[in-house]
Structure formats: C-alpha cells, structure tokens
Amino acid sequence: MNTIKADLCIIGAGSGGLSIAAGAAQMGASVVLLEADKMGGDCLNYGCVPSKALLAAGKAAHAMTQGAKFGITPVVPEIDFAAAKDHVAKVIETIAPVDSQERFEGFGVNVIREYGTFVDENTVEAGDTRITARRFVIATGSTAFVPPIPGLDQTTYFTNENIFDLRDKPDHLIVIGGGPIGLEMAQAHRRLGCKVTVLEGMRALGKDDPEIAEVALKNIRAGGVEIVEGAQIESVSQSGAEITVTDKMDRTWTGSHLLVAVGRRANIGNLNLEAAGIETTRAGIKVDASLKSTNRKVYAVGDAAGGLQFTHKAGYDAGIVIRSALFGLPAKGTDRHIPWATYTDPEIAQVGLTEEQAKKEHGAHAVEVLRFHFNENDRAIAEGKTDGLVKVMVVKGKVLGASIVGPQAGELIQLWALVIANKQKISAVANMVAPYPTLGEVNKRAAGQYYIPRLFESDRVKTIVGLVQKYLP
C-alpha cells in the first residue's frame, strides 16, 4: 500500500473539485485529486454541455420551419439524428482538454484515477494508495435519481447519463419528469423529429414562478410536446419495442423510448463517511455556511453538499473552500445571488427570491413586483420573439430577486445577479444606459417601473414641477 501526504485531498473531478485543485496547486499547496470515472464530471459528460449541444441542434432544425413571418419559405428539415449526436460528441471532445488529467498534472496536481473511501477521520484510501491530508474536499457531484416504479427495472430506460449515446431516433419518447432536464430534452427531441410526451406528477417546472413557467410551457406545448401534469406514475412495462407507462388514475401512454428525469441525488453512498465522522442529510452531506462537514477537516461542495445543483454553484463553493482551507480566512457562502437557467425555448432564469418567496419573507404589502414584457421591446419585436416577461421583486429600493422568461433569459439574469451580489439598489439598473435596440433594455425598463408611480403618478411631483415652471426664469 502506497502512502501519500498532502495539504489537500479532493474526491471528485467535476466542476467544484477541478476548480479547487487548479487554484490550490497553482498557489503552492500539495494536492491529490481522486477520480475513477470521467474527468469533468457530470456537467461535461452527461449534463450541461451535451444537453446544450443537443438543444442547439434542435434549434437549428426548428429555425428552418419558422421563416414565413420574415418572408422566407419554411422548409421541413431532413434530420440525421445520429449526426446530431455526433455534434454533441464533438462539443464534449472540444471542451474535454480543459478538464483533462494531463492539464491538471501540468498544474502540479497528483491525479489518481480511483474511487476514494474514508478509512478514518484523517485518511482516504484510493486503490492501492492511502492519502493523509490536512484538509479533504468531497466534490463527488450527483447522479440521476431512479424512482422505485414497479416494472422499471425490467424496462429499457434512459437517464441523462446515457440518453446522449442513443443514435437511433425515437419514434415516441416518453419523459417521466417535467423539470428542467425533462423539458429541455423533450423540446430538443421534438424539434429533431420525435413525438414526445412528458409526464409530471405535480406541476411542470414546479420550482419556478408559476407566471414565468406558464409562458415557457405554452410555447413548448405549441411546439408539439404533450405535457401531462398530475400524472403520478403507477407502473411501467415493456412488450417488445413498446413501452407502456400507467399512472395512478389508470391512464396509459405507449411509446418507443423512455427517459427518466425526476431529479438527482448526491453521490456519497460509497465514501464510508461514518468512518470519518461525517453526518449526512436526505439531500447530501451536512455542512455549515463555510461548507465544513461535521468533521472539520472535511469540506463538501456542489451537489454533494445538498444545496443548489448547478455547475456554477460548485464553482462558487470552490472559492469559499480555497479562502478557508488555503489561507485560513473566515469564508461563508450564500445562495441569494446564485442564478440559474432552464434552456428551453423560451429560456427561464431566476436569481434571488421569487414573488411568492419574497412576499412570504417580507410581507405582501412590502414587496413591489416590477414587470416588463418582451412584446414592448423593439429588438424582440424585430426578431419576432416577443413571448417573455421580466419580474423584479423590490422592497424599499432593494432588489430581492428577479425572474425572467424569454429569449436569452440566461444572459439577461446576470445583471440582476450582479446587483444582488453587490447589494446594489434598483437605481443602479435604472441609471444604466443600454445600447438600442437590445434585449438587455428589458432589464432597464423593468427597473424603470419602480419610478413610474413616484414620478409620473405623484401629485407632489406635479405640484413641484408646476411651481418650478411658474417661477423659473
């Protein structure tokens, strides 16, 4: 058994683990990185990257059918489904060197391609190597949750971890789960020529503001995706090439392929956490605001820590760990300024509190909800993409949150994330000058709604203006 001593031992080479490894090694710490599966983790290989690549293929196909309003004859695209998957693989291949073992070894990281398991509070075993370290970081990410639906274990089904390997176009894809992953994949496959049915046990896009979600769902349905809400699945069965899904109301749907997209769970089951004195919750490893576990030498970041499951959240966590573990500085995190996006068409994006959350936390009378619709934005009108809405939640000028649905919502939400992160007020956005005509003007116009009743509907302001005009030379 080999023995290694290090300043930092990181388990998992996804977004969080790689960010910490690169930063720590380049700042002089001795770093061991353990990864038995693919470098880059879920995001590169099974999540963010391949899903956006497939969505891009679907978007290109869809654009060919939408030219009539611009005076361009629509055409029915010829879709090579396998070639679309080649595009996905090429995108992964192009990005992969950034996350490669060779690159991180170039930083001075000792990369060991084995699973890590705790032996005690100070030691991790990986293959034939034992690592003792001053600090450990669990960055093992998450995996698709597969519910115990009767018959599912005897049925061929896909998750996000293998759907991108499918090269034969499904005739009819049934998706169990109406969250972001399920609906992104549903819309992409529909635009690539598949019939698609989405079955959601409660409300589709249930974690998003209902007013915002409804705009996206209306457009997804208009594109031919069948979305059934309140469909709690009772059983699944397969007969030859046919897969049948039955819900508790005895409704049935039959298709050729099945995608299970009902959520994710932290990858922490094989770490032997008990040996290290690390407690867990239903969501993941129990951590405090500094991301330390109940073993103060062990941090957990990203999905493993049981919080928001986003690549950029793991990257944010990495900065907290580096400040704490490398410099011994107090460092605490918050989710209040962490944005997220769902990349359907139209996109959905959120940062901070939704309208419901803001009113619950601060009181309905205290919260002002500023709204601005995309159909009043000249760029959106010019491009024929007017289905959209910006909502901003404000209390006494302080921005609590923003919700956006519309084209490029994932880009537009970044301004509000900046405002919240830096504790700026609504005036910061209202004072901004946006180039004309851009979609970004929707943010400025939304901010401007805060001042309309204070300036244009105020008797006091009108009185003051009247007096000034009366006596102004």
Per-residue pLDDT of the chain (473 residues; tens, 9 = 90+): 899 999 999 999 999 999 999 999 999 999 999 999 999 999 999 999 999 999 999 999 999 999 999 999 999 999 999 999 999 999 999 999 999 999 999 999 999 999 999 999 999 999 999 999 999 999 999 999 999 999 999 999 999 999 999 999 999 999 999 999 999 999 999 999 999 999 999 999 999 999 999 999 999 999 999 999 999 999 999 999 999 999 999 999 999 999 999 999 999 999 999 999 999 999 999 999 999 999 999 999 999 999 999 999 999 999 999 999 999 999 999 999 999 999 999 999 999 999 999 999 999 999 999 999 999 999 999 999 999 999 999 999 999 999 999 999 999 999 999 999 999 999 999 999 999 999 999 999 999 999 999 877 778 878 888 888 888 88
Sheet containing strand 233-239, strands side by side:
233-239, 242-247, 252-255
Find, among 410, 416, 407, the residue nearest to 444 by Cα.
416
Report the DSSP pairing between strands 226-229 and 195-200: parallel
Which residues fall in the annotated binding site? 52, 116, 140-142, 177-184, 200, 263, 303
Which residues fall in the annotated binding site for FAD? 52, 116, 140-142, 303
Note whether 400 and 394 are within 8 A (CB): yes
DSSP assigned state of 169: P
Sheet containing strand 195-200, strands side by side:
226-229, 195-200, 172-176, 257-260
**106/26 Cα distance (integer angstroms):** 10
Q: What integer pLDDT is reported at residue 455 of this predicted model?
A: 79
User: Structural domain boundaries of the chain?
Assistant: 2-39+100-144+265-327, 152-262, 340-455
| Per-residue tokens: 398 | 């302080």
Note whether 138 and 270 are within 8 A (CB): no
Note whether 132 and 122 are within 8 A (CB): yes
**237/149 Cα distance (integer angstroms):** 10
Q: What kind and span of H or E run contains 174?
A: strand 172-176
Q: What integer pLDDT is reported at residue 461 of this predicted model?
A: 79
DSSP assigned state of 324: I
Note whether 404 and 388 are within 8 A (CB): yes
Cα angle: 145, vertex 147, 153; to 5 degrees = 105
Under CATH, what is the fold of the domain 340-455? Enolase-like; domain 1 (3.30.390)
Which residues fall in the annotated binding site for NAD(+)? 177-184, 200, 263
Asked whether the domain spanning 152-262 has the same topology as the one spanning 2-39+100-144+265-327, the reply is yes
CATH for the stretch 2-39+100-144+265-327: 3.50.50.60
**String of b and e for 82-111 (b: at least 16 CB within 10 Å)?**
eebbebbeebbeeebeebeeebbeebebbb
* Alpha helices (H) in 138-205, listed in sequence order: 180-191
**335/131 Cα distance (integer angstroms):** 32
Q: Who contacts 94 (Cβ-Cβ below 8 Å, separation ≥6)?
A: none
pTM: 0.95
Q: What integer pLDDT is reported at residue 104 of this predicted model?
A: 98
Q: What integer pLDDT is reported at residue 49 of this predicted model?
A: 97
Q: What integer pLDDT is reported at residue 217 of this predicted model?
A: 98
R_g of the chain, CA atoms, integer Å: 25
CATH for the stretch 152-262: 3.50.50.60
Helix, coil or strand: residue 108: coil
DSSP 262-306: S-EEES-TTS-GGGGT--B-SSSB---TT-B-SSTTEEE-GGGGT
